[in-house]
Every structure is written in structure tokens, then in C-alpha cells.
Amino acid sequence: MTLEPLLSAAPEIRLHVAFALVALIFGPVAIFRRRRDRIHRMLGYAGVAGMAGLAATGLLIDSDFPLVGTYGPIHLLSLYALWSLASGVLAARRREFARHAAWMKTLWFTAIGITGLLTFLPGRVMNRMIFGEASPVGFWLMALGGAGLVLLWLWQRRPARAARRA
């Protein structure tokens, strides 16, 4: 593992990774914290700022598969993230907390989970940092991570024990 690929990457990629780390650290703590108190709110603000920066800087990075100018399919996820953030924050401001939680959980798993796995494609900065030059290990990591996300999604959708017993 080496930081050289990140340190030699374009400034927008380095900034994108910095925002990703903020979202990666603060997002799940705010999302999975049982108490919805001042700490949840403060961590949530940090997670939202990280996710907003992540999505905004994602729009600055040229696509590996451009369709319109330098924009490609992955840029749609940045737009989706910004839409989800706005919807989630608006739901919280309206005190629609179930809707707020649903938006934020979906956004975090989509933006960090799915697109995070895409960063491990061979040839990308994260793949080179973790596995070395053009390592195919990233494909295996994506497959395992994708399977893990599906299992987590299925686990969260299972009925509560009390409901199953009735």
C-alpha cells in the first residue's frame, strides 16, 4: 500500500478523497447512533458536508467513460447524491424523521457503498494505492463488497422477531 498514486493525482481527486473520508467517518456514526440528540445532529452536519463536498468534487473529475463532454454515467450518481442530500435535509427540517432516515441511509449506502466499490476498479487511484499497478484484485473486492451490501440490505429488510413470532 502506498499513498503515491493519491499524492500525484489531480487536486480535484485529492479533495474528493478528503470529502469521502469525512462522509465515511461521520455518516455511519450519525446514521446508526440510537439516540437522536445534539451529537447526532452535529455528526450529521459533518456527514452532510462531507457528502456534499464528495458529490460536488465528483462532478469535477473527468469520466473514464465520457458520454457528454467529460461527464459519464458515474456523474449521475453525484447528481443523485446532491438530490438525496437536499431531500434528506428538507425532510429533517420538516420533522419527517422517518423519511429523513430513509433518504440518508439510502444515500450513504449508494454513495459510499456502491460508488465506493467502483473506486477499486483496476487502473483507478484507490486500486493503485491499495493493490499496486493495475491489480485485478479490485474486481474481487468489488464482487465481495457488492455481495456484502446485498446481504446487509436483505438483513435490514427482514421482519422483526416479534412480528415473525405472531
Residue-by-residue DSSP string for 60-81: TSPPSS-SBTTB-HHHHHHHHH
Q: What is the pLDDT of residue 160?
A: 56
Q: What is the pLDDT of residue 35?
A: 77
Cα–Cα distances (Å) from 147 to 50, 57, 76, 157, 160, in that order, read 26, 28, 23, 15, 23
Q: What is the pLDDT of residue 109?
A: 84
Q: What is the span of the domain harbouring residue 144?
A: 4-165
Model pLDDT for residues 35-90, shown as the tens digit of each residue: 788 999 999 999 999 999 999 999 999 988 888 989 998 899 999 999 999 999 99
Residue bearing the bigger pLDDT, 111 or 135 = 111
Q: What is the mean pLDDT of the chain?
A: 86
Paired strand residues for 68: 71
Q: What is the pLDDT of residue 80?
A: 94
Find the helix packing angle between 97-108 and 11-32, rounded to 10°: 140
Determine the Cα–Cα distance for residues 85 and 95; give it in Å rounded to an integer.
15
Q: What is the pLDDT of residue 161?
A: 54
- The tally of domains found in the chain comes to 1
